[in-house]
Amino acid sequence: MAGRKAVSKASKSKRIKTPEAGFLAELATQQSAQYRLAQGFGVLFAVALVLQAWAFANVFSDMVLQQAFSLSFLFLALFALLLRALANYGRERVCASASRHIRYGLRHKLIAHLTQLGPARLRIEEDAALSTRVYEQVDALDDYFSRYKPQVFMVTLIPSVILLSVAPVSWVAFLVFMLTAPLVIVFMIFVGYKAAQANRRQFNVLAMLSNQFMDLSQGLAELKRLGRTPAARDRLSNSAKAYQKTTMSVLLLAFLSTATLELFASISIAMIALYLGLGLLEILPWQVGTAPVTLTQAMFLLLLAPEFYLPLRQLGNDYHAKQKAEAAATDLMSILDTPLSVETTSESTTDYVPSSAQLAYLSFYELAWQDTGRQRLAPITGNILKGERVWLSGESGVGKSSLLHLLLGFEENYQGQLYIKGKAFSTLNLKDWRNKLAWLPQTPEWVNGSIRRNLLLGITEPDESCIQKALQDSQCADFIAALPNGLDTALTELGSGLSGGQMQRLSIARALLSKADVWLLDEPCSGLDTDTADAVLNTLETVSRGKTLLIVSHDTHPIHWADKHWSLNKEGLDESTGGLDEKANYAIPR
């Protein structure tokens, strides 16, 4: 037993080594009360197991020797069997509920985390892929928490209980168990370690194969146009075949570990059976003429022998559950490890507020954003006065969107200073600040629901004339009037047939209705053709007078009416007044 303990300790410390295993272990501790209850059921199960073996042994031996047996033993045996079934039932229920709580709690946490990440979530994956992680990948943890995790405990419990109950009955059987158990474990480690490696590799390659299939399938239209589908089919077929071949050689080894376990279990059972049989016949070489055990004891040992190895074998079978869980954990951790914006530290606590910042509405002083070694925004300094409209341009990847995300309050881990009306950004009440904002991204954001509901998202319902005025100003009134259901037309993610320009106009109407002071626009015109874009920009010009506005737009869509033009590059900010800037910097993106 000491050997086993050492082993379980060793494997424990090994488990903590990989971050995935640490992550899973931490999740499991949330439900430690449930798991303790499950362990209680496990103990009950083990006791019932021994009780059942003992009662059946009595029944059997009496039956064999006297053709009759005591009914109370039979009842006891059947009762123990029932107890075992009930303990198993209870254990399953408890473990399943623990797994459920862990998974649904984790999912809740993931969604909350993604929410707080805001636009930064798209750096991990696009939304559809994120939904796969949040739903499928979290569910992939089920087998681990409901089966593998509790089984680890049973693997130590049941053999220990059996050893304890066998010891007073027969020292030889005890020794057989004692000798084979470490052998089984040693083999599990030697062969199992190799097998685990092989298994892991196989798991990875299988994932790669799935990936290849996904990739080729997604680009199938492209392949069809290029006339390359037969080549791709060959590729799929060949790699699957080659994979099958190499994997089989790996699997031959991998399953050897289970087979060794099985062999040990089978041989030990057979050895014990043989020992008992010969002992009963009184012809054991070292004690001819005397029986070391009675028939009852022999039966007892025989009934317990297979149970001794069973949990170990099950653990081997559940091993893939662990692997699946660890693979999923990698994906989930990459979400949770994406740092949330933390309150800025010492840097922003400087009391010095530049005098210009006290006058300006928005003020940046050496504002930069360095994220995991990558520069997302070069240090910039500049001021935006109240009612000033600023056009921000620059190459892609230079940090235009990042600046907007900072202002939206999704990223607070910036360097340098950011002031709103002379107050440091970090001291602001984020909720109040966000209430002043209107956000118009490249693809307007809509939830499923009517146009009216989308326009009035999160604001107290204004009277009808306000709505009409906003629609007039944003030049939505005409096309909305043309819709059969008017404002009650449902918008889906696809936009229900409205054009890109019309959708942008609706966003403008929404911004107007929200009475926001500060408008942040992220390339509202990319994806629109020049005429539509010009028309939308014209509308924007008229409705946004008096608003403080920061618009990100490519040089292909210049904002002629802006009060200032900021051209952002990797060194910082170039400011020029007026909308048109002929010195615009054309360089190869990235």
Partner 1 sequence: MKKPTTLSLAKLLLANPWGFIIPVITGVASSIAGVALLGVSGWFISAAGLATALGTALVFNYLTPGAIVRGLAILRTAGRYGEQVTAHNHLLGLLRTLRLWVWDQRVAKPIADLHQQSRGDLLQRLVSDLDQIIRWPLVVFLPWLYALLGYVGVSIFAYFIDPVLLWLLGIAALCHLVVLPYVCGRFASHAVHVGQILGVHRRGRFVSLFSALITLTIRGHWQDYAARLEQLDNRQKRMEVVIQQAISLGRLLAYMVTIGLLASVFLLLGDFQTDTSEASAMSWQLKDQVSGTWLVGLVLALLAVNELVLPLVQSFVAQGQSQVGLRRLNQIQQDAPPVSASALEKLTHLSLRDWRGYHLASGMGNQAIDLELNTGDSLWLRGVSGSGKSTLLASIAGDCLATGKAYVNQDECGIYDNPNFQGQLSYLPQSPYVFQQSIAANLMLGKADASDAEMWAVLEAVALADWVRGLDNGLSTLLSSQGRDLSGGQRKRLVLARLLLRRAPLLLLDEPFDGLDKATIERICHALQHDYQPDMLILVSHIDSPLSEQARVIEL
Between residue 391 and residue 430, which ones bind partner 1 under the rule CB under 8 A? 395-397, 408, 410
Rule CB under 8 A: say whether 292 interacts with partner 1. no
Measure the CA–CA gap between 274 and 276, rounded to whole angstroms: 5
Measure the CA–CA gap between 133 and 400, rounded to whole angstroms: 29
Find the shortest distance in angstroms from Cβ 457 to partner 1. Answer: 5
Rule CB under 8 A: say whether 532 interacts with partner 1. yes
Among 23-31, 176-184, 331-339, 446-454, which window interacts with partner 1 (CB under 8 A)? 446-454
Measure the CA–CA gap between 444 and 146, rounded to whole angstroms: 43
Q: Cα 131 to chain center, whole Å?
A: 9
Q: Which of 7, 43, 280, 428 binds partner 1 (CB under 8 A)?
A: 280
Amino acid symbol at 334: S
Pairing of strands 415-420, 573-577: unpaired
Q: Which of 6, 175, 359, 459 binds partner 1 (CB under 8 A)?
A: 459
Measure the CA–CA gap between 131 and 153, rounded to whole angstroms: 33
Rule CB under 8 A: say whether 30 interacts with partner 1. no
Find the shortest distance in angstroms from Cβ 252 to partner 1. Answer: 6
Give the three-class secondary structure for 366. strand
Q: Which of 72, 204, 330, 485 binds partner 1 (CB under 8 A)?
A: 72
Rule CB under 8 A: say whether 247 interacts with partner 1. yes
Rule CB under 8 A: say whether 190 interacts with partner 1. no
Q: Which of 6, 14, 136, 287 binds partner 1 (CB under 8 A)?
A: 136
Rule CB under 8 A: say whether 587 interacts with partner 1. yes
Rule CB under 8 A: say whether 166 interacts with partner 1. no
Q: By the 8 A CB rule, do 104 and 112 touch?
A: no
Kindly state the number of chain residues that form the binding site for partner 1, as judged by CB under 8 A: 145
Q: Which of 554, 558, 569, 575 binds partner 1 (CB under 8 A)?
A: 554
Find the shortest distance in angstroms from Cβ 5 to partner 1. Answer: 28
Rule CB under 8 A: say whether 580 interacts with partner 1. no
Rule CB under 8 A: say whether 179 interacts with partner 1. no
Rule CB under 8 A: say whether 88 interacts with partner 1. yes
Rule CB under 8 A: say whether 389 interacts with partner 1. no
Backbone angles phi, psi at 392, to 5 degrees: -110, 125
Rule CB under 8 A: say whether 334 interacts with partner 1. no
Among 32-40, 66-74, 366-374, 460-468, which window interacts with partner 1 (CB under 8 A)? 66-74
Q: Which is nearer to partner 1, 143 or 326 (CB)?
A: 143
Find the shortest distance in angstroms from Cβ 281 to partner 1. Answer: 5
The contacts of residue 411 (CB under 8 Å, 6+ apart) are 118, 120, 341, 369, 402, 405
* Binding track, positions 294-313, relative to partner 1; x by CB under 8 A: -x--xx--xx--x-------
Find the shortest distance in angstroms from Cβ 85 to partner 1. Answer: 3
Q: What angle do CA 433, 121, 587 make, to 5 degrees?
A: 90
Q: Which of 18, 197, 204, 217 binds partner 1 (CB under 8 A)?
A: 217
Measure the CA–CA gap between 383 and 388, rounded to whole angstroms: 10
- Choose among 348, 354, 355, 380: nearest CA to 367: 380
Q: Which is nearer to partner 1, 267 or 466 (CB)?
A: 267
Measure the CA–CA gap between 494 and 482, rounded to whole angstroms: 19
Rule CB under 8 A: say whether 251 interacts with partner 1. yes
Measure the CA–CA gap between 55 and 313, rounded to whole angstroms: 25
What is the helix (H) or strand (E) element at residue 134, kind and residue range? Answer: none
Backbone angles phi, psi at 113, to 5 degrees: -65, -45
Residues found in the chain: 590
Rule CB under 8 A: say whether 114 interacts with partner 1. yes
Task: Supply the DSSP string of 170-234, one letter for each residue.
Answer: -HHHHHHHHHHHHHHHHHHHHHHHHHHHHHHHHHHHHHHHHHHHHHHHHTHHHHHHHT-HHHHHH
Measure the CA–CA gap between 501 and 533, rounded to whole angstroms: 7
The 415-420 sheet, strands edge to edge: 374-384, 362-371, 415-420, 423-424
Rule CB under 8 A: say whether 439 interacts with partner 1. yes
Find the shortest distance in angstroms from Cβ 28 to partner 1. Answer: 18
Q: Which of 32, 556, 578, 580 binds partner 1 (CB under 8 A)?
A: 556
Q: Which is nearer to partner 1, 105 or 354 (CB)?
A: 105
Q: How many CB atoms lie within 10 A of CB 175?
A: 12
Backbone angles phi, psi at 321, to 5 degrees: -60, -40
Rule CB under 8 A: say whether 212 interacts with partner 1. yes
Backbone angles phi, psi at 406, to 5 degrees: -60, -45
Find the shortest distance in angstroms from Cβ 351 to partner 1. Answer: 29
Rule CB under 8 A: say whether 150 interacts with partner 1. no
Rule CB under 8 A: say whether 109 interacts with partner 1. no
Rule CB under 8 A: say whether 32 interacts with partner 1. no
Measure the CA–CA gap between 565 and 590, rounded to whole angstroms: 22
Of residues 475 through 514, those in contact with partner 1 by CB under 8 A are 493, 497, 499-501, 510, 514
Q: Which two tokens stand for residue 203?
A: 């798991």
Q: Which of 21, 44, 47, 78 binds partner 1 (CB under 8 A)?
A: 78
Q: Which of 32, 197, 211, 538 binds partner 1 (CB under 8 A)?
A: 211
Measure the CA–CA gap between 168 and 19, rounded to whole angstroms: 44
Find the shortest distance in angstroms from Cβ 89 to partner 1. Answer: 5
Q: Which is nearer to partner 1, 29 or 460 (CB)?
A: 460
Can you tell me which residue has the tokens 């047996």?
Answer: 69
